[in-house]
Structure 1
Amino acid sequence: MENKRLTIQEMLPGAWELVSYQVMDSRGNVTYPLGADATGMAIFLAEGFMSVQIMSSGRPLYAGGDIHQGPDNAMIAAAKGYLAYSGSYQIFEDQGMVEQQMEVSLNPNWAGDNQPRYIQFLDERLIINSQPVFIHGQEQNTKLIWKRAES
């Protein structure tokens, strides 16, 4: 009996919970831009759409409960402690890559951008690496580890 290896197209769709979001600089130093306790969700639909949301813990609440207004320091902390983008994606099985078309993004520089993400599945984890990106003014490599979400 042949042991068939599943493809990215077969394994990627679904909801994923963040395990770790870390970056590594050129000297090998690892940091956690949204904190070691960041939480997040990534959703990949089989039809080719995705959404990624990651946030730091402990962001200050907006006084009064308004969804769009708060003290400047709370609004700045909310934006600095959040990474979000959504759009469509295309899989390139032979390269182990997913190219994400970021149709909307909290980061205005990413809106309308296409970005490759390199995909691995290891021990029931989804590991996503990107090409180097600028974080805190320095070019760094990102590594996101996800586990399948449970309902």
Structure 2
Amino acid sequence: MDHDLLSRRLVGTWLLESFSLDSDAGTQIFPMGRAASGYVSYSDDGWMSFQVSASGRQPYDVPMQDGGSTEQTVAAARSFLAYAGPYTVDEVQSTVSQQVEQCLVPNWVGDLHVRHVTLDGAGGLVLASDPFPIGPTPHRVVLRFQARPATR
């Protein structure tokens, strides 16, 4: 087994450092705020899971899935994003392709999210999309992570 392969180095759980939409002109949008938290996990059996939340999320009146008012439920959904599904790695292109099978946003189910992967020697991971239009300016999703230390 080649431990230098991207597919091997990607396996594990990565803690979110930042989630931004970056333009080539240098502007950044932070859709979950600058203090977003979350993680992405890649298993060695080819399954991934991604979760991100805004900081300061307000609790529901009753601590159950359906325990919030309509306003609380809308706020909770808008401040959290999660999806999961199988993934594949292209070693030549340094990309990971994530097939969305489960997602908070129903419209994304069936989508393929392709991310350019950059790993540094200090335990950092950057996942970036190709540019896509936000208004008149193209932006790319940029997710920065740090490796989560093993707990066992």
TM-score (norm 2): 0.88
What CA distance in whole angstroms lies between the structure 2 residues aligned with 1:42 and 1:138?
Answer: 27
Q: Give the match for residue 111 of structure 1.
A: 109
Give the number of equivalent residue pairs. Answer: 148
Question: Which residue of structure 2 lines up, in the alignment, with residue 85 of structure 1?
Answer: 83
**Residue 25 of structure 1, CA deviation:** 3.4
Give RMSD over aligned pairs: 2.0
Matched, 1:143 2:142: yes
**Matching residue of 1:45:** 43
Deviations 1:13-60 (A, max 9, x none): 011110111111354311211011110011100110000000001111
Q: 1:58 aligns with which of 51, 56, 59?
A: 56
Is residue 38–residue 57 contact of structure 1 (8 Å, CA) maintained in 2? yes
| Letter in structure 1 aligned against 2:70 | D
**Percent of aligned pairs with the same amino acid:** 30
Which SS does the other structure have where 2:59 is aligned?
coil
Q: Compared with structure 1, are the counterparts of its residues 92 and 43 closer, same or farther at alpha carbon in structure 2 (3 Å cutoff)?
A: same
Consecutive unaligned residues in structure 1, runs of 5 or more: none
Q: What secondary structure sits across from 1:19 in the alignment? A: strand
SS of corresponding position for 2:92: helix
Aligned partner of 1:10 in structure 2 is 8
Partners in 2 of 1:110 and 1:132 — Cα distance?
18
Distance in 2 (CA, whole Å) between partners of 1:99 and 1:130 is 10
Query: Cα distance 1:8–1:49, how it changes in 2: closer, same or farther (>3 A)?
Result: same
Once the two structures are TM-superposed, the CA of residue 5 in structure 1 deviates from its matched residue by: 7.9
Equivalent residue, structure 1, for 2:32 = 34
Partner AA of 2:141 in structure 1: T
Deviation per residue, 1:71-118 (Å, 9 max, x gap): 122111111111110000011000000110000111112111112111
Query: For the Cα contact (< 8 Å) 1:98–1:116, is it kept in 2?
Result: yes
CA distances 1:95-149 after superposition (whole Å, capped 9, x unpaired): 0001100001111121111121110102320100012356689752111011111
Instruction: Tell me if the contact between 1:59 and 1:74 (Cα under 8 Å) persists in the aligned partners.
Output: no
Query: Aligned equivalents of 2:68 and 2:128: distance in 1?
Result: 34
Contact conserved, 2:3 with 2:9, CA < 8 A, in 1? no
